[in-house]
Structures are given as structure tokens and as C-alpha cells.
Amino acid sequence: MKYLLDTHALLWFLGEDNRLSKFATAAIMDPANQIFVSDVSFIVRRIW
């Protein structure tokens, strides 16, 4: 499966935040899935 993470999902995953569901964390960590992140997420992160 292919997943495109939004900025919040990316930050929550990287920060091991409990606001990201266990299902979402498992999907991101599953090597069978392809995870994509928009370039905009990195721009938003620099602004914060």
C-alpha cells in the first residue's frame, strides 16, 4: 500500500507522539508499505 503522510502524521511519528494511532504507526512501520512525505511538510517544519 502507498501512504502520503501529512505534516502532523510525520511529526507525530518522528516524535513518537501518542496522538498518532497504533494503526497508523503500524502502517508506517510496515516494510510492505511505501511511505511518501510531501516537500511542503519540510517547509512547514522550518517555519515552526
pLDDT score recorded for residue 34: 98
Q: What does the alpha-carbon distance between residue 31 and residue 22 come to, in Å, rounded to a whole number?
A: 16
Q: What does the alpha-carbon distance between residue 10 and residue 31 come to, in Å, rounded to a whole number?
A: 16
In 1-48, alpha helices (H): 7-14, 22-29, 39-47
One-letter amino acid at 22 equals K
Q: What does the alpha-carbon distance between residue 36 and residue 18 come to, in Å, rounded to a whole number?
A: 21
- In order along its 48 residues, the chain shows pLDDT tens digits of 999 999 899 989 999 999 999 999 999 999 999 999 988 887 766 655
pLDDT score recorded for residue 47: 59
pLDDT score recorded for residue 40: 82
